[in-house]
Amino acid sequence: MTHMRAFAAGSLAVLLVACGVAAKPAARGPLPDPTTDDALSPTKGKSTLVLAGGCFWGIEEVFQHVRGVTSVVSGYAGGSARTATYELVSTGTSGHAESVKIEYDPSKISYGQLLKVFFWVAHDPTQKNAQWPDTGPQYRSAIFYASERQQELAKAYIGQLQNARLFQRPIATELVPLSKFYDAEDYHQDYAVKHPQDRYIVQIDLPKLEDLRQLLPQLYAK
C-alpha cells in the first residue's frame, strides 16, 4: 500500500477520524514492570536493542526522550542488504520492517524497562502488519533480539502482559533473531526533530511523546 505519510494533510486527517485517536496507548491500564528483568549494572556501559513498531519516525522520537538512552537510529531489519532502501522497504516485499536501533546505558535503564516503553506508549502491539494509518508488513511489531537473554526477557514480558489481560486483543509482536540492522537514509534520521510541524508528526507521533511524559515521568528525559 502507498505509504500513508505521503498523503496530503487533508487525506491524513480523514484517515485519523476513521481510525480514532491514533496515538493513544492500546492498554486498558498501566503496564506493570517486567517481573523478569536484568538488574541495573553497577558500572556505566553500552547495550543495544532493535525494535520495530510502525513508522520509525515516531519510535525514534519516543526513545530519544527516554532516560538512559544514548542513541537512536532509524533503519531496517529483517531483510537483506540488497533490499535495505526506503523505496524497496515501502513496497512491503523486502522482508524488512522499519526499525530503530537503540543504544542505552544499562546502569541507568534496563532492557525490560525499555520494553515497557515500547509496549505502552511507543506503538500498539496488538496491530498485525500495521500501525494506525500505515499498513503492510514493513510496519509490523517486532523485537529483534541479539542474544538468548534478550529473547528470554522479551518472551517473559509478553507472556506477563498477555496473562494480565491488559490489551483488548492478543499481542502481535514477533520475536525475531537479529541478523543485521541497516541504517535508513539520512533524511529519515531525527525526522520529528527536523520537521515538528509535519502533519503526520503532529497527529501521530507527538501524542506518543506526551504519553511518555505523563504516563512514565520517571523515564522521561527532555
Give the pLDDT score at 9. 40
**pTM exceeds cut of 0.85:** yes
Give the pLDDT score at 23. 60
Q: Could you tell me which residues are beta bridge partners of residue 35?
A: none
Q: Look up 55 and say whether it is catalytic.
A: yes
Give the pLDDT score at 128. 94
Distance from the Cα of residue 132 to its chain's centroid: 13
In this structure, are strands 47-53 and 69-77 parallel, antiparallel, or unpaired? unpaired
Check 12, 23, 55, 66 and give the catalytic one: 55
Which three-class secondary structure state does DSSP give residue 134?
strand
Q: Are 70 and 50 in contact (CB under 8 A)?
A: no
Residue 53's H or E segment, with its range, is strand 47-53
Rounded Cα gap, residues 168 and 219, in angstroms: 25
The CATH classification number of 4-215 equals 3.30.1060.10
Q: Could you tell me which residues are beta bridge partners of residue 119?
A: none
The x, y and z cell numbers of residue 112, run together, are: 525490560
Report the alpha-carbon angle 138-140-141, nearest 5: 140
Give the pLDDT score at 5. 56
Closest by CA position to 167, among listed 59, 25, 20: 25
pLDDT per position as a tens digit, 164-208:
999 999 999 999 999 999 999 999 999 999 999 999 999 999 999
**Tens digits of pLDDT across the chain (222 residues):** 334 454 434 444 434 433 334 567 999 889 999 999 999 999 999 999 999 999 999 999 999 999 999 999 999 999 999 999 999 999 999 999 999 999 999 999 999 999 999 999 999 999 999 998 999 999 999 999 999 999 999 999 999 999 999 999 999 999 999 999 999 999 999 999 999 999 999 999 999 999 999 999 999 998
Rounded Cα gap, residues 15 and 30, in angstroms: 28
In one letter, which amino acid is 107?
Answer: S
